[in-house]
Amino acid sequence: MTKTRTSRRPASSSSIAGLLAWILPGLGHWYLGHRVRAIIIMVVIAVTFWCGVAIGGVKSTVDLNENRLWFLAQICTGSHTIVAAIWSGRLDPVVDVCPACGAKLAHKPRVGDTCAHCDQPITNAASATRLRLAFWPQIDIAIVYTGIAGLLNLLVILDAIARAEIEPLRRQAAGGSAHG
């Protein structure tokens, strides 16, 4: 009975550590008590992922239909990819902005309209349309950044699971040898 309890405890904590590490990179290590490592992982993976999103724009970078295999790598960052995917799904690929101040316009502008933000007249309607889609090489760099962030978090998840399994056994062995 006792044997079953001791063997179950690390397994459940390793599952929780792995799940937490997937939900938010670094949270698994935080749960296991490695606070400094957790903060490093949280910051580095978040910065890498969102740098990639900034390079390619969220619409092109996180796209399940266009980049299925890379999306599998990206989804390993958990909440980061989920937030980015929801955001990407809600965005239109084209946006109308004021050519003078860059503010988003409520509707497609016509020549002679004035911007509600800067009151400047719009002289060229074509220059007011901006694409939110990225092309080569930005799109490739963005996908590699976000994909690598995901694959790095996969390593982190496996490390959190391994630490949750091994550390209680190590502590037990150290305690046993100290008593023995």
Per-residue DSSP letter, 158: H
Tell me if 49 sits within 8 A of 77, measured CB to CB: yes
Distance of CA 69 to the CA centre of its chain: 16
Site string for another protein, 101-120 (x = CB under 8 A): -xxx----------------
Q: How many CB atoms lie within 10 A of CB 173?
A: 10
Please report whether residue 60 would count as binding another protein according to CB under 8 A.
yes
Residues 2-41: x where in contact with another protein by CB under 8 A, - otherwise, as a string: ----------------------------------xx--xx
The CA-CA-CA angle for residues 164, 167, 171, to 5°, reads 145
How many residues of this chain interact with another protein, rule: CB under 8 A? 42
For another protein, the closer of residues 18 and 56 by Cβ is 56
Nearer of residues 13 and 61 to another protein, judged by Cβ: 61
Smallest distance, another protein to C-beta of residue 151, A:
9
Work out the angle between the directed axes of helices 2-23 and 138-179 (0-180°, nearest 10). 160
User: Is residue 35 classed exposed, middle or buried when 0-12, 13-18 and 19+ CB atoms within 10 A define those classes?
Assistant: exposed
* Collapsed DSSP state (helix, strand, coil) of residue 129: strand
- By CB under 8 A, the residues from 71 to 90 that bind another protein are 87
Residues that bind another protein (CB under 8 A): 36-37, 40-41, 44-45, 47-48, 50-51, 53-60, 87, 91, 95, 102-104, 130, 132-135, 137-139, 141-142, 144-145, 148-149, 152, 155-156, 159
